[in-house]
Structures are given as structure tokens and as C-alpha cells.
């Protein structure tokens, strides 16, 4: 007799980690999160991989979003816009023009990785002297 692999579906994995199933999908689309198996269109997780990933995440400090560059935390567009001190329509324009921070889309929901918001903001920093932007 052949016993089945000890794998669980994304719904059970999300419950095990205490996150939404959507959050796991966002992690997968960004190439982050716990290791998983993909059999055709079916996604499965091992509890050992989930536990290892949870322990790695729990070991990382979460002092504040401003200092949290290395950890993958996903935030909604409203919080991302507030963090960048821009309006939500401005952030939407950045997405449409392809010049904004990297984001995750799953169905109709968008999320931004906090670390990507930090990296994108750092790339926008200008060290020009003279005060004003010289672009026309």
C-alpha cells in the first residue's frame, strides 16, 4: 500500500500560519514565502516547510515598517500610499506607467511588499544640489 504524501492545501496552510489564503498566493507570485509543491494547477505545502518558514519569519525583528526592509510584509495600496506620502491615485498612476514600486496582484487585490516600498523610495532619492529638480 502507498501512503499519501503529508501535504496540505493552501487553505489549510494559511490556517496553520495564521494568514489569509490570499497572502500565501501573493507570496508565491513574488517568489517569496514558504516552499511549496505545484502539481499542475494544484498547490500543496508540507507542514515541515511551513514550520521552517514561520520560524525564520518569527526570528526577524518587526520594530517598525520604516526599519523593516528585509522582511516580506504585504500592505494594501492605501497604506503604501500613506507610507510614501503620496495619494492613492498617484500610486495608481505609477502602476499604470510602470514606474512605481513592485506589487503583487491576485485577482482584483493589490499588495505591496514593505521592503520593496523602501527600495523604491531609496531609488527615487536625488542627491542633486541646487534645491529644485531641473527636469522640464
Q: What is the pLDDT of residues 14-58, one digit of tens each?
A: 999 888 898 888 888 877 788 898 888 888 999 999 988 887 765
pLDDT confidence band for 59 (50 / 70 / 90): low
Residue 84's pLDDT is: 81
User: For strand 109-113 and strand 104-106, is the pairing parallel, antiparallel, or unpaired?
Assistant: antiparallel
pLDDT confidence band for 2 (50 / 70 / 90): low
What does pLDDT average to over the chain? Answer: 77
Q: How far apart are CA 92 and CA 18, in angstroms?
A: 30
Q: How far apart are CA 29 and CA 68, in angstroms?
A: 21
Amino acid at each position: 500500500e502507498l501512503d499519501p504524501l503529508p501535504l496540505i492545501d493552501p487553505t489549510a496552510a494559511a490556517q496553520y500560519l495564521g494568514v489569509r489564503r490570499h497572502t500565501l498566493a501573493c507570496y508565491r507570485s513574488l517568489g517569496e514565502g514558504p516552499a511549496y509543491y505545484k502539481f499542475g494547477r494544484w498547490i500543496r505545502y508540507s507542514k515541515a516547510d511551513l514550520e521552517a518558514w514561520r520560524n525564520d519569519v518569527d526570528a526577524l525583528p518587526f520594530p517598525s515598517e520604516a526599519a523593516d526592509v528585509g522582511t516580506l510584509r504585504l500592505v494594501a495600496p492605501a497604506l503604501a500610499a500613506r507610507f510614501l506620502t503620496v495619494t492613492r491615485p498617484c500610486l495608481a498612476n505609477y502602476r499604470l506607467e510602470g514606474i512605481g514600486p513592485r506589487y503583487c496582484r491576485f485577482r482584483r487585490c493589490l499588495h505591496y511588499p514593505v521592503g520593496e516600498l523602501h527600495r523604491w523610495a531609496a531609488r527615487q532619492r536625488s542627491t542633486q544640489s541646487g534645491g529644485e529638480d531641473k527636469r522640464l
